[in-house]
């Protein structure tokens, strides 16, 4: 059972992969890959902006705390002038705490600076790769379009494409129908001329039709004789006298007399 399930899964995956390959358009895939790279580049730029923003906040905080350090330092001096050593000590204690925070902020700022520099360098590298891929993508799309057009032209010329195959079948069917109609028309005409089929549009029977054909033939002979006479052939025929037939000898002169036999 596990073997059958694995085999079924393999067959389904193969069918699905073939279906995806048939539906996949390289031009669309290349454009999608380019858009994904642009999206990644945009994310890197957004990360650089976030790091720069965080660094700027640390700089503002550092400046504010630095001002507090200077203020506390002044307060400590003023307290000593007023013979308030306790206040001076309190001011110096707070100053020391803020200075410890300033050291931490400075370290964080340095880390953000290094991270920003690293992101900027990566953004430059990625931007160069995206630009290179864009050029390569356009070249590949042009090559694919040219190859696709060449295949279509070759299939059209050789007639192996689906469309041309359908056209060829349609032309063949049209030829077959034309030949069939021509043969049927010739058969009907032949049967009508022979009198097997009756022409419902004609008047009279088959005898009338035959007499009409004879009459038409006589009209043709008369027209031909008339044309010959107009061309001079008729005058030549009249100039030559017809030979008179020789007088036949009388039957009495040529035939011997038959004597009647007398009865005995």
Do 140 and 26 form a contact (C-beta atoms < 8 A)? yes
Residue 234 lies inside a defined structural domain of this protein: no
| Same domain for 179 and 77 | no
The answer to whether 72 touches 99, Cβ cutoff 8 Å, is no
Closest CA to 202 of 187, 189, 215: 189
Which residues, at least 6 apart from 165, have a Cβ–Cβ distance to it below 8 Å? 159
- Report the number of distinct structural domains present in the chain: 2
* 80 and 115 assigned to the same domain: yes
Tell me the per-residue pLDDT of 150-174, one tens digit each, with 9 for 90 and over.
877 876 666 555 565 666 677 788 8
pTM: 0.47
Rg, C-alpha atoms of the chain = 60
Q: DSSP readout, 163-189?
A: HHHHHHHHHHHHHHHHHHHHHHHHHHH
144 in the same domain as 27: yes
What whole-number distance in Å separates Cα of residue 130 and Cα of residue 124? 10
Question: 133, 33 in Cβ contact below 8 A?
Answer: yes
> Is the same domain home to 192 and 80?
no
Alpha-carbon gap, residue 190 to 104, rounded angstroms:
115
What residue numbers bound the domain in which 192 lies? 165-197+205-227
Q: Both 154 and 174 in a single domain?
A: no
Domain identity same for 80 and 180 = no
Distance CA 173, CA 228 (A): 51
Question: For position 256, what pLDDT does the model report?
Answer: 45
Residues 220 and 92 both lie in one domain = no
Does residue 145 share a domain with residue 23?
yes
Both 124 and 69 in one domain: the answer is: yes
Do 129 and 34 belong together in one domain?
yes
- Read off the pLDDT of residues 217-253 as tens digits, 9 standing for 90 and up: 777 788 888 888 888 754 554 454 544 544 444 444 4
Q: Are residues 72 and 94 in contact, defined by beta-carbon separation less than 8 angstroms? A: yes
């Amino acid at each position: 059972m596990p073997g059958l399930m694995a085999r079924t899964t393999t067959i389904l995956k193969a069918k699905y992969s073939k279906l995806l390959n048939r539906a996949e358009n390289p031009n669309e895939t290349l454009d999608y890959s380019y858009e994904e790279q642009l999206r990644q580049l945009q994310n890197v730029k957004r990360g650089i902006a976030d790091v720069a923003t965080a660094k700027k906040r640390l700089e503002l905080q550092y400046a504010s705390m630095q001002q507090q350090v200077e203020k506390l330092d002044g307060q400590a001096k003023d307290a000593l002038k007023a013979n308030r050593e306790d206040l001076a000590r309190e001011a110096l204690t707070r100053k020391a705490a803020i200075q410890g925070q300033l050291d931490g902020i400075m370290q964080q700022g340095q880390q953000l600076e290094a991270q920003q520099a690293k992101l900027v360098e990566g953004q430059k590298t990625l931007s160069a790769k995206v630009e290179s891929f864009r050029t390569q993508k356009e070249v590949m799309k042009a090559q694919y379009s040219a190859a696709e057009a060449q295949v279509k032209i070759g299939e059209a010329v050789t007639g192996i494409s689906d469309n041309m195959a359908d056209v060829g079948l349609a032309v063949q069917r049209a030829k077959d129908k034309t030949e069939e109609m021509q043969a049927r028309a010739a058969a009907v005409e032949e049967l009508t001329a022979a009198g097997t089929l009756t022409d419902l549009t004609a008047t009279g029977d088959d005898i009338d039709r035959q007499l009409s054909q004879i009459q038409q033939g006589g009209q043709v002979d008369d027209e031909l004789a008339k044309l010959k006479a107009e061309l001079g052939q008729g005058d030549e025929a009249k100039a030559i006298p017809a030979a008179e037939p020789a007088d036949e000898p009388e039957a009495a002169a040529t035939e011997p007399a038959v004597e009647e036999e007398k009865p005995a």
